[in-house]
Structure 1
Amino acid sequence: MNLYIQRNLQINQIFHQFTTEKEVWPYSIDESILDMTHTWRLFGNSVREVARLIQKTVRQKLGLYTTVGIGDNPVQAKLALDLYAKHNHELIGEIHYETVPDKIWSITELTDVWGIGPRMAKRLNRLQIHNMYELAHTNPYLLKQQLGVIGSQLFATAWGIDRAQVTAPTKVKEASLGNSQVLPRDYFNQAEIETVIKEIGEQVAARLRHHHKLAGCLSLSIGFSYAAAEADGRGGFNQALKIEPTNDNQVLTQQLLWLFRQNWDGQAVRNIGVYSSKLSANSGQQLNLFETPRNQIRRSRLNQVIDEIHRQFGFTKLVYATSLLKGGTAIKRASLVGGHNGGNSYE
């Protein structure tokens, strides 16, 4: 994974040779969106010719093949990449406003389209929408009424409309910090599930302290295994709880375990996520009346000492004993990068 990240950075540096840095938006670990509106004429007689030049440059410098989607806006470029570029010998696909009827409305499988998963496809099917042509010609007010904002977004996608500007700063509605994990197997045992919840909760608490933040809201996301989801009729549950602003390990994990016990009914678990929101600055420690100030201050200092040990010597040098129990994942997860093996040469 470390090598993958290194190559990603090198490829994006090549992109900066063709347009300004602010007009390159790394969309994911293996995709970037380039706004070439003002620069493509410097490098060729057509956008497709410039796309070919970028492909050749990456190939010559890094030995890697790249696929390119071209469009009049980001959503057209994304659809061109997914639906066409990956399936022709040039590894280039194009969609423009004038080709939307041919390139987008002709799509018969809704799940082939970026942003439409199996569940959304079923919801659209219930509205008698089975392909992109039908989606594009459905009343947009009905889609918004039935699906909310996502209904309007899907309608715009069906017409190849996207008003997003790559260079516009992203507006974050509400800051949050969290972590999630796909478990290595189905977890049935309550003690094992709670061990992982505590591990992730402590990791989120450490991130809050690192950013000098307190969380006023805590949410727990539990994803069931495939078989459990089929039997239960839902994929899991997501519950949130308002709390007194804190970043204390013990307080956060206790609340998380309470949320879990209130909502879990024995289903096999495969995914766990912990998220904190309603963040505020950690300007001081708010003591409560139900515990002695000495114990609260001592626990706060202990958390700070543990954080410092982790920073200086690595996470695995000091772990809670529960992480050594069956089902614990914190030690193994510490060696991963983005959920993947980091590679021995970078350890």
Structure 2
Amino acid sequence: MDYSQFPQHKVLCIDMKSFYASVEAVNRNLDPLTTLLAVVGDTERSGSIVLAASPALKREFNIKTGNRLFEIPKDPRIHIVPARMGLYLETSMAFTKLLNQYVPIEAIHTYSVDESFFFCQGLERTYGSAYDIAKHIQMNILQQLKLPCAIGIGPNKVVAKMTMDCISKKVGIAECRYEDVQRLLWPLPIGDIWGIGSKMKRHLNRLGIMTLGDLAQYPLDILKRRFGVMGEQLYYHAWGIDLSPVLVDPREDVRKGFSNGITLMRDYSKEEALTVIYEISDKIATRLRQINKAARTVSLAIGYSKTEEIRGFNHSTTLPEATNISKHLSRACIAIMNKENISGLIRTVHISVTNLVSDEVIQLDLFTGPEDEKLLRLGKALDGIQSRYGKASVMRACSLTESGTAISSAQKIGGHTQ
């Protein structure tokens, strides 16, 4: 591979170690690295999932994310605490603000609540090499937030991410250049690589691909025939090639579109799922009005219960006119459902809107204009009430039924209590 034709960026991938557990430890004036602590969704339910385990708990008792509460030993040294998503989001924002002290926001790509990409080109004259910059940031995070982190350094996001996941989490900071890819990354098991889930791992293993090096050496034409565009992407990622932009506009995703969805607490019938569609449509319409946008395309994704032997679907429809009215969004989704002829039990509902335009282009025709104008005024009035008094201050009557989710979701952030 001739790396000279590819960009040579300086990208840091920064991951906060055991983020939820570390934040909880710091909040209790405990050492996040030595404290035995688990964050669970519900401390009153023995089957509740462990959302985060401190490094010490992982090391001493092998308790990890995904374990159940009943699997945690009855040891008085172990702190078991409920999730507080509001606190974690607040800390995540403080983390981003800290990074923003070094570079403009366009050079920070927030990948998740506890992980960010950081484009550090141009800081060399102030802080030194990329490794020196990473060391300075790591120390600053520890001093200001009292949180440990791991940092991977690479010429692009993919290499920085793989380095962080597979090397930095063990040593703190690690760097991998293009010329280091074969030595540092190729020996890694294919299942440890970012973007390769358990299903893809099984497919690759059947082809005799066990390591990242095996993937890099596999014939590209066969990978493309077998996996399409994904096969080509995996091949180039195995060589450390990634052409995605390192500078991002955080507002760009909103301009393109956004989504909202829910994994239901139980299986729903088609009729019950309609309530959820109404509720999600309300949320998306509110968001559109807040940013003065309207959507031309609506997508509905339905996931069936594990008891069903049928695959879910994700279908889209383009509206005659752009809209930010909930009624039109829900109608579009219901039309997709009816066309799909749903008969199985439903477990996930997801709605997204794309092809966003300024709400100034919305045109009210002669026949539907008066009704839409009333719906728009009503929507804006409800937006104002919810903004002032909370999301649960006003809602649809159907949200008060057993199939409603609006009340419980209004009390949570990220699916957990605030």
In 2, Cα distance between equivalents of 1:51 and 1:304: 46
Greater shift in the superposed pair: 320-329 or 95-104: 95-104
1:48, CA displacement in angstroms? 3.9
Matched with 2:334 is 257
CA change 1:339–1:153 in 2 (3 A) is: same
CA change 1:83–1:187 in 2 (3 A) is: same
In the TM superposition, what whole-angstrom CA distance separates every residue of 1:230-265 from its partner, at most 9, and x where no partner exists? x32x3x111112222233322322221232233254
- Unpaired stretches in structure 1, ≥5 consecutive residues: 343-347
Matched with 1:103 is 184
Query: Does residue 1:11 correspond to 2:95, yes or no?
Result: yes
In 1, Cα distance between equivalents of 2:117 and 2:383: 37
8 A contact 1:187–1:193 mirrored in 2: no
Matched with 1:36 is 120
8 A contact 1:8–1:29 mirrored in 2: yes
Matched with 1:194 is 274
Query: Does residue 1:180 correspond to 2:261, yes or no?
Result: yes
In 1, Cα distance between equivalents of 2:400 and 2:253: 38
Matched with 2:161 is 78
Q: Percent identity?
A: 31
Query: Does residue 1:92 correspond to 2:173, yes or no?
Result: yes
In 2, Cα distance between equivalents of 1:176 and 1:19: 26
- Unpaired stretches in structure 2, ≥5 consecutive residues: 1-84
Query: Does residue 1:300 correspond to 2:376, yes or no?
Result: yes
Greater shift in the superposed pair: 168-177 or 6-15: 168-177
1:196, CA displacement in angstroms? 0.8
Matched with 2:356 is 279
Matched with 2:302 is 222
Greater shift in the superposed pair: 120-129 or 174-183: 120-129
In the TM superposition, what whole-angstrom CA distance separates every residue of 1:96-126 from its partner, at most 9, and x where no partner exists? 2232223222122x23211112333344456
CA change 1:188–1:312 in 2 (3 A) is: closer
8 A contact 1:66–1:91 mirrored in 2: yes
Query: Does residue 1:333 correspond to 2:383, yes or no?
Result: no
Greater shift in the superposed pair: 325-334 or 113-122: 113-122
8 A contact 1:18–1:40 mirrored in 2: no
Matches for 1:104-253 after TM superposition, within 5 Å: 104-108=185-189, 110-125=190-205, 128-167=208-247, 175-183=256-264, 185-228=265-308, 231-232=309-310, 234=311, 236-245=312-321, 246-253=323-330
Residue of 389, 392, 395 corresponding to 1:319: 395
8 A contact 2:106–2:248 mirrored in 1: no
Q: Secondary structure at the match of 1:197?
A: helix
8 A contact 1:188–1:266 mirrored in 2: no
CA change 1:13–1:251 in 2 (3 A) is: closer
Q: Secondary structure at the match of 2:149?
A: coil
In the TM superposition, what whole-angstrom CA distance separates every residue of 1:276-320 from its partner, at most 9, and x where no partner exists? 22333333442365x6x5544433333332233223332211111
CA change 1:106–1:41 in 2 (3 A) is: farther
8 A contact 1:214–1:279 mirrored in 2: yes
Aligned length in residues: 331
